[in-house]
Structure 1
């Protein structure tokens, strides 16, 4: 007896809560208003029923009939499920009103009709109960139970479908936020540049670089920093792209990450030490299934302030991300083309080297042999980049079909062309 009264009180509290949420929805559709109206009507009727139950606690036939409203999957239980279904759609989650409002009211007309039907059935049964006719009430509850049995699988399917839809919508919002954070970190698309460069590689070239003892020592971690100087036109950028391609194909996985920069004098204003460090952070973050907490916190703070993170903030976030991997490889191409206003280039190199203190960071730099740059790598492993005779000859051989037929038919002439071009290339 007391449990039945308690159940009605619980349903009343839930009804009041849902009514409040429904009324708070801005630009609510007609279906939403209909649910709010029906819930309000039921609230008043249930209050009346609760009053009569408190008056008549003798356990007579009428009271016994009313108790059947509260059986499992009975009218009261069905109504409670409808309320919880509504509340799960309209309540605020995580205190974020704006995000949650985008998820509001995704019911189809059929689903709303099902909810309203459950409300209407309970309202009819309670009205019969208030007539104090226990025989009529018993027959009505029996008939309603048959309806519920027939429709319950369909209702459950609707609930699952709604939950799946909400989950998909929430996942879409998280993906949208993830994309916004990644683009906020850095608009530069170095992977696109990498693709453009590596597609111009002639098959087989650059293998000498990957097979060199210096590269293997760096790859295995015997030496953490590899400096690759070279004259203009020696193929430094191509060697950097070949290195990135080799690392991504052979060692990059869930535990080991690769990031890279292609510096350019043409856009020095957009490639400060801060933006380049942010571009590295972007590449490491976008490979994670979820945005790392330090980056999310940095984004949330600066989004509210309409500001950009400082160099030190980005470095701290990068340090945190790198520490979560056993090893990280970073390739910086054309360091000489990175502007050194106020010592920005030196600061970039020094901070990347600082990461080697707390993480397994492997660094590879390419650059022209400028004194102010080579002085920073006096203790580093050095591998000079040059256009090897094998690479030039391989490339020229691949271009032979472009020559006239008379040259292609003459093996001696073809050999002479190859020898002259290889000699004229002189390491470029």
Structure 2
């Protein structure tokens, strides 16, 4: 991805100014609205001066300067400016008067709930911090903050599931598993109708679910975290490290690290000790409330170690997040796990005929010997596919 230019950054700031101005206009037009409306309008107005200052600073800056190099990260696609613009545009759409309603003398419908108001105010506060920091003349402040932020994030957990996700998804046969994304029960979980979904059955990485979540909620105020349990890494996948990984992933996706996370880092890093499960769990609960929705995917829960009460402790902390989060868990059919998710909605994971056929065709086409055999006998491929698909049905 090419670095954002000065023109591109200015354009992003102007769009943000327009979106914020429109939203403030609608907020001011609301009569007899809750006092939260005035709070939102005041906070939004305080940002406009910062945006205007930022715009002209960028226009007057040297694009080769260290200051510009530090500040342009604000305008990257999906970055802080884009996120806030999306929030303002969504708020404006909710407050826009219906056609035919006169501007004055009417009370508009107030459609925001307390969580939405809190989320928007939180976004405003985070963006004010970032813009104020960017306007400081000393670019080293920005660079140093970025460095410190990364140090904190790296410290939170030694586990890295992003690499596993990329590896699993890249090795997935294209087109397979899409039946799950179309399943009605899965869709009800995705749209927030159902909070918990258990997917027992065949054991293959559910990277397609994580990828779908990241694409579906790309520009929304939604956070996503995931765990890939593995027999091979049980020594490292302790309850503490698993909860720490969820915390790390939520922190990474927020524009600004909370003061509580930074305080935990300073307190423990100086003493060279790790935080306790309780400390991490408490912060995880707090982070989960910073966005409108949080989706958590736990894959292969049956591979989470039972000894030392690892799985039991991990699930106990996950329960503390409910009903704040939207949880999807996959596992083999194991009695202890079935008891845990007995009341949850369920989608049985299976290898569909279409998935098996696509996989087999790919294997045949990638094996030189098989390619030669089916070319010499065109009916052989159909026999192979039909026989294996029939025998695999119901697995």
**Scaled by the length of structure 2, what TM-score is found?**
0.62
Check the 8 A contact 2:300/2:329 in 1, yes or no: yes
Check the 8 A contact 1:235/1:387 in 2, yes or no: no
Check the 8 A contact 2:374/2:381 in 1, yes or no: yes
Residue equivalent to 1:236: 204
The Cα offsets for residues 217-239 of structure 1, whole Å up to 9 and x where unpaired, read as: 11122221111111xxx2432xx
Check the 8 A contact 1:228/1:384 in 2, yes or no: yes
Residue equivalent to 1:374: 338
Check the 8 A contact 1:252/1:258 in 2, yes or no: no
Picking from 366, 384, 387, the partner of 1:420 is 387
The Cα offsets for residues 327-348 of structure 1, whole Å up to 9 and x where unpaired, read as: 0000001111111234331232
Check the 8 A contact 1:335/1:366 in 2, yes or no: yes
Mapped partners of 2:171, 2:231: distance in 1: 21
- 5+ unaligned residues in a row in structure 2: which ranges? 1-133
Check the 8 A contact 2:158/2:241 in 1, yes or no: no
Check the 8 A contact 1:236/1:385 in 2, yes or no: no
Mapped partners of 1:219, 1:254: distance in 2: 13
1:288 aligns with 2:254: yes
Check the 8 A contact 2:298/2:330 in 1, yes or no: yes
CA RMSD of aligned residues (A): 2.0
**Cα pair distance change 1:284/1:253, threshold 3 Å:** farther
Check the 8 A contact 2:203/2:331 in 1, yes or no: no
Larger relative helix fraction: 1
Residue equivalent to 2:189: 218
Deviation at 1:427, TM superposition (A): 4.7
The Cα offsets for residues 120-176 of structure 1, whole Å up to 9 and x where unpaired, read as: xxxxxxxxxxxxxxxxxxxxxxxxxxxxxxxxxxxxxxxxxxx99972222222121
- 5+ unaligned residues in a row in structure 1: which ranges? 1-162
Residue equivalent to 2:318: 352
Residue equivalent to 1:397: 361
The Cα offsets for residues 269-307 of structure 1, whole Å up to 9 and x where unpaired, read as: 211111101001111111122211111111111122221
Structure 1 consecutive aligned stretches of length 4 or more whose deviation exceeds 4 Å: 163-166
3-state SS of the aligned residue for 1:269? coil
Residue equivalent to 2:198: 227
Residue equivalent to 1:186: 157
Deviation at 1:382, TM superposition (A): 1.1
**Cα pair distance change 1:167/1:425, threshold 3 Å:** farther
Mapped partners of 1:352, 1:400: distance in 2: 43
Residue equivalent to 1:172: 143
Picking from 158, 171, 195, the partner of 1:200 is 171
Deviation at 1:385, TM superposition (A): 1.0
Mapped partners of 2:185, 2:256: distance in 1: 36
Mapped partners of 1:221, 1:290: distance in 2: 26
Residue equivalent to 1:326: 292
User: Which residues of 2 match residues 77-226 of structure 1 at below 5 A?
Assistant: 167-226=138-197
Check the 8 A contact 1:294/1:320 in 2, yes or no: no
Residue equivalent to 1:15: none
Deviation at 1:416, TM superposition (A): 0.3
Picking from 237, 262, 270, the partner of 1:271 is 237
**Scaled by the length of structure 1, what TM-score is found?**
0.57
Mapped partners of 2:332, 2:136: distance in 1: 56
1:411 aligns with 2:381: no
The Cα offsets for residues 321-375 of structure 1, whole Å up to 9 and x where unpaired, read as: 1111110000001111111234331232232222124x2x110111111111111
Check the 8 A contact 1:244/1:260 in 2, yes or no: yes
3-state SS of the aligned residue for 2:234? helix
Residue equivalent to 2:305: 339
Bigger Rg over Cα: 1
Picking from 313, 338, 352, the partner of 1:388 is 352
